[in-house]
Amino acid sequence: AQSVTQLDSQVPVFEEAPVELRCNYSSSVSVYLFWYVQYPNQGLQLLLKYLSGSTLVKGINGFEAEFNKSQTSFHLRKPSVHISDTAEYFCAVSDFRGSNYKLTFGKGTLLTVNP
């Protein structure tokens, strides 16, 4: 079964600083990777996804991620964060089991943007 590991449980940064949230996945023949964001007291929202093609994926709110097959990584980046980016970020992988795909989440990284 596929899995993802988020290397940092918490990342504090100052406003307008760059940020990188790290995610590594277990190796497989094909892999579909995603980043979701969860703002306080809300559900999850898809930030971006990698299915195939270009390894640099751009998402909403100025976030981007790079799929690196040799390092089995899918790190999320933003060049300049805002206070409003404070949220929990989940890396996720789609896994085919039996007759269904299943989305499995990493443990999450809490991004806190300080003024």
Partner 1 sequence: DTEVTQTPKHLVMGMTNKKSLKCEQHMGHRAMYWYKQKAKKPPELMFVYSYEKLSINESVPSRFSPECPNSSLLNLHLHALQPEDSALYLCASSQLTGVRTGELFFGEGSRLTVL
Least distance (Å) from partner 1 to the CB of residue 80?
A: 26
Sequence-separated (6 or more) residues with CB below 8 Å from residue 55: 66, 67, 68, 69
* Contact set with partner 1 (CB under 8 A): 32, 34, 41-46, 49, 51, 90, 92, 94, 96, 99-108
Residue with smaller CB distance to partner 1, 15 or 61:
61
Give pairs for 26-30: CB < 8 Å, separation 24+. 26/2, 26/72, 26/93, 27/72, 28/2
Least distance (Å) from partner 1 to the CB of residue 39?
A: 10
* Phi, psi at 39, each rounded to 5°: -75, 160
Least distance (Å) from partner 1 to the CB of residue 22?
A: 16
Q: What is the 8-class DSSP label of residue 79?
A: S
Residue with smaller CB distance to partner 1, 72 or 94:
94
Residue with smaller CB distance to partner 1, 30 or 70:
30
Least distance (Å) from partner 1 to the CB of residue 101?
A: 3
